[in-house]
Amino acid sequence: MIARTLLLAALVASAGCFELDRVNGPVLGYESDPDACNDGRDNDRDGMIDCRDSSCIGSGLCGVIIVEGARPEPENTFLKCTDRIDNDQDGNWDCGDRNCQAIQELCCVTEFSDYFCADGVDNDDNGFRDCGDFSCRNNPFVTVCDFEAVCDDGRDNDEDDLEDCDDPDCAGIGDCPPPPDPIPEDTIALCSDGIDNDRNGFRDCGDFSCSMAADPEVRVFCAARLENNVERCSDGEDNDGNGFTDCADFSCSRSTDPDLIALCESPDPVDEEDGFDECKNGLDDDGDGFPDCADFSCRDSRQEREIDGVMVVASPCQESITVTDPEDNLFLAIQEAIDRCTNGLDEDEDGFTDCDDWDCHWNPLMRPGADVAIAAGRPPEEGYCQGWRFLSATREWVFSAPSDDRNRPLYCRGY
């Protein structure tokens, strides 16, 4: 126990930033011996530190510690996510456990920002790169997965099987031709191509122009695909191609068919995991496989809470939430995010305050011009907590040299 405590203390003391250098190679040697796998450094500069590096794991230097007779308990704190013990006894431990992965300050993966999610590299070596990796696609602070970030690099940046000018996102950008004029979506070919040809927000058989087409062959074609019976509302497929599956599709959930009502409106519905305390207890309360902040229902949770004597609208998973929708008033939302990240309160109660909190560093509201920089092939400029200031008077971002705690780099803690 004493040895383990000393190990943990050493890890905490030595945790720091990693810097990728895939050109010059290792400067401190490879991570394949006990010392290199326990020094808190990214010795081989592959973006993975110590026991998060496959070299250390492959060398058998990072095995789980078995504690005989221990009772299962939540694995969702800094200490329990760095002790190499499977505390909740679910077969996963430390940053391999979803409860720990939800703590971004602790288990930062290398594909966690616009830059790393658009560089064409599988940074975390999990077999998926960029927007094909859930750490990019499901990350609320990654914006490049919503569109084709670069339109002339020969890659499918947003992983939608369309690259560069073949992706509608690139229409009219650079050498890509402008988008075609809208055309009626009323033939079998146009009702099965996965494209919203008439640009009305609906595609294929999810568009009334297909499902109610004048051509009877088109109506028959769509009738065989509409999600309007128990079989097609419970098969896990988006049969009509409208972007919604099973009971998430209004044609299932708002049907007047008694069988579909019974299917989509269970008399004993699952209680969503969306309460502040539910999203902090280390349990998968709604049984969907995602506990706490790994569950999107927690990320959307909002509660008025008293923190250090101050009443605030708090989220269990994000300190930089804003009441204002950025689409309604971008500048007010930016100012709100900055205010929340400089008020000295730990509003998501994750142990990290203001600019020490991962979401204050990486929220797009606090990172000026990220999409523009990516499109130009540059790393995105950093945000408020890393040297930039948003001036409400001029509604501009200006850079000031790091001079106080708000500007220091954010460390990815843990191994």
∠ CA 408-412-413 to the nearest 5 degrees? 110
264 domain residue, yes or no: no
What are the Cα distances from residue 170, in Å, to 180, 184, 276, 287?
A: 12, 22, 40, 40
pLDDT digits (tens, 9 = 90+) for 231-259: 888 887 878 777 677 887 777 877 788 88
**pLDDT grade for 149, boundaries at 50, 70 and 90:** low
> What does the pLDDT average to over 145-166?
78
Say if 257 falls within a structural domain.
Answer: no
349 found inside a domain: yes
Q: Which of 137, 135, 170 is nearest to 152 (CA)?
A: 170
What is the helix (H) or strand (E) element at residue 306, kind and residue range? strand 303-307
Please state, rounded to an integer, the average pLDDT across all residues of the chain. 75
Per the listing, tokens 């658009």 go with: 118
For tokens 């509660």, what's the residue?
303
- Residue 239 burial class via C-beta count within 10 angstroms: exposed 0-12, middle 13-18, buried 19 and up: buried
- In the predicted model, is pLDDT for residue 137 greater than 80? no
- Cβ neighbour number for residue 58 with a 10 Å cutoff: 11
- Residue 183 pLDDT greater than 70, yes or no: yes
Cβ distance 319 to 348 under 8 Å?
yes
Residue 400 located in a structural domain: yes
In which domain, by residue range, is 380 found? 296-407
Q: Extract the tokens encoding 123.
A: 């940074």
**Segment among 38-47, 273-282, 350-359 with least mean pLDDT:** 38-47
Intra-chain end-to-end CA distance of the chain, in Å? 19
- CA–CA gap between residue 179 and residue 226 (Å, rounded): 29
Classify strands 396-399 and 310-314 as parallel, antiparallel or unpaired.
Answer: unpaired
Count the Cβ atoms, other than its own, within 10 Å of residue 234: 16
β-partners of residue 307 are 310
Q: In this model, does residue 116 exceed pLDDT 70?
A: yes
CB atoms within 10 A of CB 14: 13
Domain count of the chain?
1
DSSP 169: G
Residue 110 lies in a domain: no
Strand-pair partners of 306: 311
Query: Does residue 211 have a pLDDT over 80?
Result: yes
Q: How confident is the model at residue 187, as a pLDDT?
A: 92
Residue 407 CA to its chain's centroid (Å): 24
- Going by C-alpha positions, the residue among 82, 12, 65, 22 that lies closest to residue 46 is 22
Q: What percent of the chain has pLDDT over 70?
A: 75
Residue 383 pLDDT exceeds 80: no
Residue 46 forms part of a structural domain: no
Structure confidence at residue 21 as a pLDDT band (50, 70, 90): very low
Residue 258 or residue 99, greater confidence: 258
Specify if 327 maps to a domain: yes
Q: What is the pLDDT of residue 374?
A: 62
Q: What is the per-residue pLDDT across 186-208, written as a single tens digit (0 to 9) for each?
A: 899 998 887 788 877 777 887 88
Strand partners, 388: 399
352 domain residue, yes or no: yes
